[in-house]
Amino acid sequence: MSWDGDLPGHHRFYSTDPVGNRIEFLEPIAVGPEAEARRPAADHT
C-alpha cells in the first residue's frame, strides 16, 4: 500500500499486484481542524 498525496483535497492510497493491476481508494478531505486529525500516518517505506 502506498499513499499518494498528488490529488489536492483528497486522501488517496493505492495498492498494486504482481501483474500490474492497481486499485485506488479515494476520500474527500473534510473541511476544518478535525480533517488533519483523521488522516492516517504516511507510509515511510
Give the mean model confidence (pLDDT) for residues 14-19: 92
Q: Using a cut of 0.75, tell me whether the model's pTM lies above it.
A: no
Give the pLDDT confidence score for residue 6 in this predicted structure: 78
**Main-chain dihedrals φ then ψ at residue 15, nearest 5 degrees:** -140, 145
pLDDT tens-place string over residues 31-41:
766 655 665 66
Alpha helices in the chain (DSSP H): 34-38
Give the mean model confidence (pLDDT) for residues 2-18: 85
Give the pLDDT confidence score for residue 37 in this predicted structure: 62
The structural domains of the chain, with segments of one domain joined by +, span: 2-38
